[in-house]
Structure 1
Amino acid sequence: MDGIPAIPAQRNHPEAARHAPRTTQAAPGPESVPAAPEPGSPASATTAPAPSPGSRFAVLGPIRAWRGSEVLPSGTPQQRALLAVLLLRDGRTATAAELIDAIWGEDPPQQALATIRTYASRLRKVLDPGTLVTDAGGYAIRTPAGTLDLGVARSLASDSEQARTTGDRALARTLLARALDLWDGEPLAGVPGPHAETERSRLVEWRLQLLETRLDLDLEVGHHAEAVAELTALTAAHPLRERLRELLMLALYRSGRQAEALAVYADTRRLLADELGVDPRPELAALQQRILRADAELACAEAPAPAAAPVHVRPAQLPATVPDFTGRATFVDELGAILSAADGQVMAVSALAGIGGVGKTTLAVHVAHAARPHFPDGQLYVDLQGTEPRPAEPVAVLGSFLRALGTPDTAIPDTADERAALYRSALDGRRVLVLLDNARDAAQVRPLLPGTAGCAALVTSRVRMAGLAGAHLVDLDVMSPEEALQLFTRIVGAERVASERQAALDVVGACGFLPLAIRIAASRLAARRTWTVSVLAAKLADERRRLDELQAGDLAVKATFELGYGQLEPAQQRAFRLLG
């Protein structure tokens, strides 16, 4: 395909690597491979073993590396620049001088060579053994075929070109769309240096060329109406790209919008004259003349293939339940009984309400997992982000649910009402459980409820869903002291709690018997083997520092309070501050 960047292509891509670029492989255990010596050492020429097949790399966006599903740290911007240079060389060795020039250009730091060695040493510790090798005074990254997104994109583009040559335009379009899906924003995003800037520009240009080819294929297979919106946005973003304007004119004409197609030509001619002082290219002018005389051949396009029949997919979207779920036995039995009876005459809806951190989601997920045998057709889950400034829009959630149920994108309508109707139709005759977590209000929830018997919905929210007709309402409070102590013990361990029972009671009391706070406090203690329960109790006894102590990793009681505080009216916020 013309215009592909002159970065050496990966070789010997297997079919599976080309056509399943996002498959995640389980990483094998580390091999016992000695670290490669630094450039210039006597043993610098090494033949390294192949790295683990679980490693994958991305350059069509931010520089990233994975081992299986684990994201590997790629270091500072300059270290990512080194990684990018080596990845783009397709296994060929880069000398230290080439690396210094690529990262810093004409103004390298005084200790550039030592810095390169430091970056290489850090990368070698992170990557699989044998991935980063030292050879002939330089470095190289040796990766199996199909592990770099750019190589996969090249293979898909090449296969697409071959399919188009043989006349299979539908396959060519599909392969090209998959290649374009590998882009994740700006290529080499955030990577400094002249080499990265050059390659970034070439990759951006190549993506535009691939996009133009895919849009051309869209028109060839009859998808002109769908292409108009995308082409309109692209011509606005790239106003001087005449090929995009030519495709837009053709798409408009084939959609029965002749006047608009001619208006695009007039606008293009005006723009080129004002900006560059030139006329449109001959192909664009010829297309205008063919539109003016209503050329019969211009309207010809391959009829689109009939829409594929909907595939019944069994979604299983529930988050994992916590292994140390504790207490709430009454609620578990109550909700379980309601869900197990969902095969009756009406759809079952249960709504759990309570303050932040009281354990609504944990309880709902636990109950939903227990009820899975009653819903053999699957379970849907969404975080509605009701405490965020911008909660999830029902129209977007319906789109994701429809896709999860097997509805192709081309069959998903645009409006919320039409999507809700199709969603209810897709669930008709199926037994599906829908967990709507963190809802803002009843209005956000109503369009997402199934409409048939046999299905059920579980809703969690900080507000009571009194506006949901027929819903079973559950108000969740903090744990009892016994349940709170039991949860704390299960996380920390019975041995550490048994000898300091009173201190443990002081801890859960300081946590207000709130499950989130107890989990955070217990997790901190479990991670610090030198602490006693009394040490933790003393830290939580200071009310002025208590919220600062109740955070572990990405869990924090303060953050939960802040979300709730942000939803209050100014007068309510003032009352809350006064109470504090």
Structure 2
Amino acid sequence: ACGFLPLAIRIAASRLAARRTWTVSVLAAKLADERRRLDELQAGDLAVKATFELGYGQLEPPQARAFRLLGLADGPDISLAAAAAVLDLPPEDTEDLLESLVDTSLLESAAPGRYRFHDLVRLYARSCAERDEEPEREREEAMSRLLDFYLATAAGAYAIERPGDRTVAHLERSRYEGEAFDDASAATDWLHAEAEPLLACVQQSLRPATLRRAVDVLLAAIDLAESGAGSRRYETTARAARDAAAALGDPHAEVRARITLAQVLSQSGRFEDAEREARCADVLNETALDPWTSSTAPNQLGIIAICRSLYADAEGYLLRAIRAFRSDENRPGEASAVCNLSRTLASMGRSERAIELAQQGVTIYDELGMSVRLANARYASGTVLMQAGRLPDALEQLERALHIFTESRQRLWEGTTHFRIAQVHLAARRPAEAAQHTEQALAIGCIGGDWMRANALTILGKALADLGQPDRARACWLDALRIYEATGSSEAGEVRVLLSPAAA
């Protein structure tokens, strides 16, 4: 609560020393209320707030306005471009103002082009905004511009990564321009650098006037969930968006929030929860009639059904998704559903058609120049080729996918592809290589969370058994079994067989 500010720590210590019946927890409880924190941090002639007031009182009007408005944003820091959106000023003028605030010690320069408040200074800036920034509409418009900046920039990054994807066409329109990128690498850099401030802005914007734009930022920033880097914060924000949309009675925003939540839940292996969200979105969309959800919901339900080995259900969902994507003229979306359908058919023993469909997906993504999505298609192709027994071809596709995922910093997909490569090596009777890739998958993490971790442990156990290490193999299988039993996964039966004396 003191934010390591020496004066604040000194005041807190002084208050404790003067009140022998107080414990540290008593003072901590008083300081937990942000609205009262600055008032609590005073003792005698010492007051944190008075120190801040002295500096604030010496600011010129443009500096004071910048100080007040920038304090409204919840993120840990803010970029120069985002700050320019908050202040509605050119970047050059914004930089001059921010650097002048750094000179007065009311703002910190976190890195070149990035700025942050000390936690207590931010609280003071907000109190000044509530007191001095009139009318209230000025504060609301500042945060609306920041949300627009994140929506426009995230949409631009999404469009560079996924040329031709119709998702961007279905997003709410932003009224403030975002940053532009020369290439996909720059777009990816921006998204990861802005993850915390962006998601904090979304969570701050879950009110009637900005709810739909806030939810659409989540759609445009879906790579944060898929990369693993910001998946936990993304999930928390998606849950908050779902709850806000439901409470406000906005089915359009709710179906989108539920699908984004279903996506991140699927990626962490919580398939029952993911299915519940996706099914609810699918039903609600009968009223909302959102074209994005009309295609994305059945595609997501198909993915979940694949992971739960419900292949007939998956086929039905994915055929519906393909029709919806085609109706929306969304070729990348169609390619995604086609690749998912290929995996479904391969698991149903229809290998020839599965391989054809996977190649269709590869061709579409390749023609559109979609690098990460092309990697997804090659991953699907490698998986179905492996199931068809074409191991050299499968390995080629998976290794090409791995290279793209690694270059694009898609960590969870990188780990998942290592797992598939391990399966190929095990099938080709190369247990040492299988063990190596499985260990990399376990170290990195995989799409599918604990469920995929259990899958990887099962494969690692098989590789170790083939290498003459039965004790280590058994330990892997026991760990896998615990995960499967905890999640109610059907794969538990296979592991019990591996652990049985007959298998030994």
TM-score, length-scaled by structure 2: 0.25
Q: Which structure shows the bigger proportion of residues in strand conformation?
A: 1
Question: Is the helix fraction higher in 1 or 2?
Answer: 2
Give the structure, 1 or 2, with the largest relative contact order (CA under 8 Å, sep 6 or more). Answer: 1
**TM-score under structure 1 length normalisation:** 0.22
Compare CA radii of gyration and give the structure with the larger one. Answer: 1
